[in-house]
A and B are shown apart, each in its own frame.
Chain A
Amino acid sequence: MDKHKSTEKPEKELSSESRRDFLKTTSILTAIAVAPATVAKAAEFNLGEKMSTAFETTPVNLTVNGVKKQLNLEPRATLLDTLREQLDLTGTKKGCDYGQCGACTVHVNGQRVLSCLSLAIMHEGQEVTTIEGLAKGQELHPMQQAFIKHDGFQCGYCTPGQIMSAVACIQEGHANNEADIKEFMSGNICRCGAYPNIVKAIQEVKNGGRKS
């Protein structure tokens, strides 16, 4: 995790550099990016805001784990692929990629959502929190600690999604009893079957831990 943090910035710049070169050298991809001011004006006049035509990338601004990111993305880029492949935040997992498993769960403006069914461009200006953004420096989030304490995983692949979902489950007020937790965590599938321990971890945080 630390290693990622220290290399995050240079890698990000590297990737946007190479994208820029790609754009420069590919005439068909000459981007006609619409400046934000024009965009606001277009909306005022009910013209609809032409953000991108086929084969263009569009500037997208996201705040990811508290850091502002400026990206150039194709409209079809999902939030999941953007996090993993543009921002090198590979903690968010690609399980099914069709909204059936919950491994890709992140928070957008504080709400848990599936990043695989989200187009990144639709989150312009919004705040995204991934599993990498939960810990405070060296100190793990209470939910991360509780998952370790209660052995809430085996292979670990679903765990980032489970933890993001679990944190939100408590914040939403849907973790009041075991039945509630099972129902409102049902969007996160664990093929190893760590469910009973995941429920214990959530109950512990709900009953005593920090909630956000």
Chain B
Amino acid sequence: MIQFQYERAATTKAAINGLANSTHAKFIAGGTNLVDLMKRNVMAPTKLVDINRVPLKDIQQLNGKISIGALALNSQVADHPLILEKHPLLSQALNAGASAQIRNMATVGGNMMQRTRCPYFYDTALPCNKREPGSGCGALEGVNRMHAIFGTSEQCIAVHPSDMCIALVALDASVIVAGPKGERRIPFEEFHRLPGNQPEKDNVLQNNEMIISVEIPDNELSKNAHYFKVRDRASYAFALVSVAAALTMDGKVIRDARLAMGGVAHKPWRLREAERSLAGKTVSEETFRQAAEIAMQGAKAFKYNAFKLKLGPNVIVEALKNAAGLV
């Protein structure tokens, strides 16, 4: 790890000021991804601004929504009574990610900012347009078993690694960010981006901005929500495919559906057309299978990840069955 300048900020303003005049400055909170990447020389910030003392840990009910501070720990959110009661989908997704130790360190903001686990991104001896723009994409013709099937570009086929974010995009969350000119609100679905011609950009956060909080509007999805994750081992592994499913039901009839997929795209992948197809339908495996087919339209596999074209719809159906109580 190269040497770096270390600074501690106690307020949002001090934190944002800490980024000024330094293009290679980064915030550090839990450090579970950044320290890992710094050890491997994948990222080499010359300055770290430690934001752990900025008071942004609160999880609270506001008018019509729940606000989660950017520095709330993943474990703290997953175990919080308000989240367990109102957004069990988020709690399930958080507990499906990483390990208990990492969840005790990782923050909500840091979870959103984590980088892809594409092995070509992680290995500095191999080409990667995300790590080194213009160097090429090793995964395109390489070992791409873990890679994307939606929204890929010639430049990058990496996937976004978070579980938490899959639940948040399904729950219509918003991200509040602050910069030198004040705060702005970004719909969660627009926070992360597709790779296009700039795969080095994971999201739309500017270099001088800081995530302040995430807000989830109140909903009636808590009784029929399920996060289903398929991975290479039973726990502590990144998703091959995961699905966040939540339903509002009138007896056996679906009033409103939310579906999002992980492990399939460069961003949390919301399945809006499949959601629309479910509204007004009676719950059944057949209905769910049709929605899954709609969801998979436009999917494109590479040499080693064609299994995701079959696994994807199966996981959607299983997640919906669990959410609807059909299993």
Contact = CB atoms under 8 A, between A and B. Distances in A.
B98 interface: yes
Contact of A76 (B3, B8, B13, B14): B3
Interface stretch (A3-11, A51-59, A83-91, A202-210): A51-59
Interface in B1-26: 1-11, 13-15, 17-18
B116 to A, nearest CB: 16
Nearest to B98: A187
B101 interface: yes
Contacts of A50: 5, 7
Contacts of B98: 187
B48 A98 contact: no
Contacts of B50: 121-122
B32 A99 contact: yes
A105 to B, nearest CB: 6
B13 A122 contact: no
Contacts of A113: 101, 104-105
Q: Taking each of B18, B30, B31, B79, which has the highest tally of chain A beta carbons within 10 Å of its own beta carbon?
A: B31
B140 interface: no
A187 B14 contact: no
Range, interface on chain B: 35 or more
A169 B7 contact: no
B10 A119 contact: no
B95 interface: yes
B95 A48 contact: no
Range, interface on chain A: 35 or more
Contacts of B36: 98-99, 117
Given A117-B32, A118-B31, A48 B100 contact: no
A175 to B, nearest CB: 11
Nearest to B38: A76
Contact of A187 (B31, B46, B52, B236): B236
Q: Taking each of B11, B13, B39, B104, which has the highest tally of chain A beta carbons within 10 Å of its own beta carbon?
A: B104
A160 interface: no
A47 interface: yes
B10 A122 contact: no
A132 interface: no
Interface stretch (A16-24, A141-149, A178-186): A178-186
A46 B17 contact: yes
A200 interface: no
Contact of B15 (A48, A78, A169, A174): A48
B99 interface: yes
Contacts of A75: 3-6, 48
A183 B14 contact: no
A98 B123 CA distance: 14
A47 to B, nearest CB: 7
A54 B25 CA distance: 13
A23 to B, nearest CB: 15
A73 B233 CA distance: 38
A182 B95 CA distance: 13
Contacts of A168: 100
Nearest to B10: A43
B21 to A, nearest CB: 11
Interface string A66-89: 000000001110100000000000
20 contacts: A46-B14, A47-B17, A48-B7, A48-B14, A48-B18, A54-B4, A76-B4, A98-B36, A102-B99, A111-B75, A114-B32, A114-B102, A117-B105, A118-B105, A119-B28, A121-B6, A168-B100, A169-B100, A186-B235, A187-B100
